[in-house]
Amino acid sequence: MSVSSRASLEEEIYLRSLTGYLVGSRLFAGSRKVAVIAVPDRICSAMAAAALASYEAAGNYRDGAGAVFTYEQGKEYEAAKKVVSSGADAVYLSFGGEQKMSDVNNMVMKIINALNEAGYRGALLIHVRAWLASKQLSTVISRPETLKYLQSLSEIRVFTADANARKFYFNRVRLDERGVKLEKYDEAEITQEHANLLKISLPPPE
């Protein structure tokens, strides 16, 4: 792991199991099929697997409940086309485990533009680290075309965390020319162990 993080790789992976449990049951709730786009590294892959397993355990264990597609630089459109072809009504961006925040921001911008180009119009579900890396999507919606695209989606959701309060918040994202507004639709109390791991998990330095 990066020297910036006080968490070991083992702790980082376990943290994703705890977070994935809540993401799959709360952020994915109500979706018919969730396509997860994950960076093919150890931590993002753990997050993708944990979230989908939780979603399936919440009454969604059936054929076609989910799909996983990998993010590769320069192949964003191919991934976006796979999402559309899969018939998913929600796509989750599982980015940020082992990448610098500036790189995560670039990935978020590129994959959202690729989803637009591919004609995806379902729900967009966002990992908190991708949310923070994109400065609450402000770097993305600075382009009017991208703002218009995001406004056309059926829904945008993000989860945020307050480790000190031991809370996860699940929010709908509202966008307009004035900026971003979050509307909480659910929350979950997290364990002290989960909160402690969140406090020591940090992204790699720039």
Query: In b/e form, how buried is each residue of 172-192, taking b as 16+ CB within 10 angstroms?
Result: ebebeeeebebeeebbbebee
Domain total in the chain: 1
Would 2 be classed as within a structural domain?
A: no
pLDDT of residue 2: 44
Would 157 be classed as within a structural domain?
A: yes
Would 1 be classed as within a structural domain?
A: no
Q: What angle do CA 185, 18, 53 make, to 5 degrees?
A: 85
Q: In what order do the strands lie in the sheet with 179-189?
A: 66-70, 34-38, 90-94, 123-126, 155-162, 167-176, 179-189
pTM of the model: 0.94
Instruction: State the CATH number of the domain containing residue 114.
Output: 3.40.50.2300
Would 205 be classed as within a structural domain?
A: no
pLDDT of residue 113: 97
- CA pair distance 197, 135, nearest whole angstrom: 23
Among residues 18, 24, 25, 26, which one has the least CA distance to residue 36? Answer: 24
Would 66 be classed as within a structural domain?
A: yes
Would 3 be classed as within a structural domain?
A: no
pLDDT of residue 91: 98
Would 4 be classed as within a structural domain?
A: no
pLDDT of residue 1: 42
Residue 80 domain boundaries: 9-200
pLDDT of residue 5: 59
Query: In b/e form, how buried is each residue of 110-142, taking b as 16+ CB within 10 angstroms?
Result: bbbbbbbebebebbbbbbbbbbbbbebbeebbe
pLDDT in tens, the chain (206 residues): 444 557 899 999 999 999 999 999 999 999 999 999 999 999 999 999 999 999 999 999 999 999 999 999 999 999 999 999 999 999 999 997 788 999 999 999 999 999 999 999 999 999 999 999 999 999 999 999 999 999 999 999 999 999 999 999 999 999 987 789 999 999 999 999 999 999 999 888 87
